[in-house]
Structure 1
Amino acid sequence: MRWFITGSSAGFGRVMAETLLARGETVVATARDPLALADLVDKYPDAVLALPLDVTDPDQVRAAVDAAGPIDVLVNNAGHGLLGALEELSDEQIHEVLAVNLLGALAVTRAVLPQMRARRGGHIVQMSSVGGVIGNPGHAIYATSKFALEGASEALSGEVAPFGIRVTIVEPGPFRTEFLGRSMRRATPIPDYEDGPAGVLRALFATQHGQQPGDPVRAVEAIIDAVHSPSAPLRLPLGRAAVERIRAKLRAQLADLEACAEVAIAADR
C-alpha cells in the first residue's frame, strides 16, 4: 500500500512513517521542510518519497498530490494546538489553527479524492482528538477545528462509501508526542481567566509534556490495523483517557436528550 502522510516530521506522522517503512510499506512523507525527513530517505531510499507540503498552500497541495502518484491511504496528520480562552486569542491565531487543522485537511482530502474515486478504492484517516468530541475550556479554537473536521469527515464517509472509499476519524487522548511541546501555540493570558477552567488547563498542560500515558507507537499500530481491517469503525478513540472521557460525554449528552425529549418533540405540533 502507498501511504500519503501530512505532518511527517514529528509526532504521530513521524512515528507512522517509521512504522510503515519498517513493515515494508511505501510512504509519501510530507513536511513543510522535507530536510527533516532526510534520515528516512537515507534509510529507505526505495520506499519513501519526501515532499514539501504546507497544507495551507493550495499550489503545494496540488503539486504534492500530483508528485505522489497513486495514493491508497491518506493520513491527514498536520496540525497544532492553540491554548487560551476564546477572548485571549488573536484573529491571526484563530485563522492559523483553522487554516491548518481544518481547511488544510479538507484541501488535501479534496485533492486526493478524484484519484481514489476513479480507482473505486482508498482510505482516508483524519487525525482528530478527544478534543474533537469534548470542548475543553481554554482550548476552544482547537476544539472548533476538530469538531468541524469530525462533522465534515462523518458526512464524507457517507458520500464516498459507494466508491469503495473508507474514512477513519482518530480520536487520541494524551500521548507522548510533540503536541504539548513545539506543536502547541499559546495566547497571551488575561488575568481574570487564570483562576478559572482556562487557567487550570494552561497550568496542567505546562506539566504534562513528556509525561502523557499514551504510547505513540501503540497508537500508530492501532491506526494501521484499522486501515487493514474490513470492519474498522468510523471513529477510533485511542488511550484510556479518550475512551473514558468520550463515554462520559456521550452518556451525559444522552441523558440531556432524554430529559428534554418531550418538550423537543412537542415543537413539531
Structure 2
Amino acid sequence: MTNAAVGMAALVTGASSGIGLATTKLLLKNNYQVFGISRRGTVPGLENDQFTGVAIDLSQPDKIDAQIGAILKQCQFDCFIHAAGNGQFGSIEQFSVSQIDAAIRLNLTSALVLSRSIVPLFRRRKQGRMIFIGSESSLSAGRKGALYSAAKFGLRGFCQALREDCASDGINVSLINPGLVRSPFFDRLAFSPAANSENAITVEDIAEVILQLLQSSPDIVFDEINISPRVKSLIFSGSQTGNNR
C-alpha cells in the first residue's frame, strides 16, 4: 500500500458526523480532496482547503438526481464512500407508514439513487471505488431490528449485484459491516455499547479500514468486511427515537 497521491478525490456522505466525519478527516490527512455530503453542507470546526461541503438531504431521494448532477459537472472524484444512515429500532407495529418510508429512503434508497448517477461516471473512466457502510444487522437480524435490518439486508444485496455488474468496467464495490460503533448513532436510541474499549469499535477504526481499501490494489476487491468489537455488551436506557449515524 502507498500513501494517497496528491489529486485523489473522494465523495463522502454523512460527512458531518460519525463514520463519515472520521473518514473525511483521515482522507484529508492523507492528501485527498474531499467533497462531503451532509444535510447542511457544513462541518463545524473543519477548516481545510481540500474540503468542500455539499448540502444534500439524502432523506429526499427525488431531489438527489438534480443535486448530485450539479456536483458531477463541477468536480471529478476517484472514490465514493456512502456512510450516511440512521437507526430505528422497535417492533414493526410501532412504526407509522411514514416512519418506515423515511427509514428505507435514507438507509437504502439514497444509496441506489446516488449510485445511479455515479456509476456511469466511473464506467466512462474505467475505474472507481465504491464503499458502502452496512451493518452486522445485514448479516443476522435481531429483536426490534425489523425495520433497520430490512434496509441493511437490502443494501447488502444491492452491493452484491452492483459488484457483479461493474467488475468488468474497473469499478470495485465493497461493503463494510460494522458491529457496535461508538458514535452519535446511539445518542437517541434506547441502548448503546458498554463503556469499555473492548465493547465497541471506534469511528476511527472504520475510517482506517476505508483508507486501507482505497490504498489496496485496484485488481483485487474486498467484497465484504465484517468488523466486531471483541466483547459485545449493551447498556439499555431511555426511549427509542432513532438517530443519524
Q: TM-score range by the shorter chain?
A: 0.7 to 0.9
Alignment of 1:62-211 (within 5 A): 62-68=66-72, 69-182=75-188, 184=189, 205=191, 207-208=192-193
For 1:209 and 1:81, how far apart are their aligned partners in 2?
18
1:20 to 21, 24, 27: 27
> Which structure is richer in relative contact order (CA contacts within 8 A, separation 6 or more)?
2
Q: Report the more deviating stretch, 57-66 or 128-137.
A: 57-66
Q: Post-superposition shift, 1:208?
A: 2.9
Query: What corresponds to 1:32 in structure 2?
Result: 39
Alignment of 1:40-59 (within 5 A): 40=46, 43-45=47-49, 47-55=50-58, 56-59=60-63
Determine whether 1:225 maps to 2:212: yes
Q: Post-superposition shift, 1:77?
A: 1.2
Change in 2 beyond 3 A, CA 1:242/1:158: farther
| Counterpart amino acid of residue 53 in structure 2 | A
2:134 and 2:152 in contact (8 A); partners too = yes
Q: Post-superposition shift, 1:160?
A: 0.4
Determine whether 1:214 maps to 2:218: no
* Structure (1 or 2) with the greater strand fraction: 2
| Counterpart amino acid of residue 158 in structure 2 | A
Q: How many percent of aligned residue pairs carry the same amino acid? A: 24
For 2:150 and 2:207, how far apart are their aligned partners in 1?
24
Coordinate RMSD, CA, aligned: 2.0
| Counterpart amino acid of residue 11 in structure 1 | G
| Counterpart amino acid of residue 224 in structure 2 | R
1:30 and 1:53 in contact (8 A); partners too = yes
For 1:136 and 1:27, how far apart are their aligned partners in 2?
35
Q: Post-superposition shift, 1:64?
A: 3.2
**Larger Rg, first or second structure (1 or 2):** 1
For 1:120 and 1:210, how far apart are their aligned partners in 2?
45
Q: Post-superposition shift, 1:117?
A: 0.6
1:130 and 1:171 in contact (8 A); partners too = yes
1:52 and 1:60 in contact (8 A); partners too = no
Gaps of 5+ in 2: 1-7, 233-245
**TM-score, normalization by structure 1:** 0.76
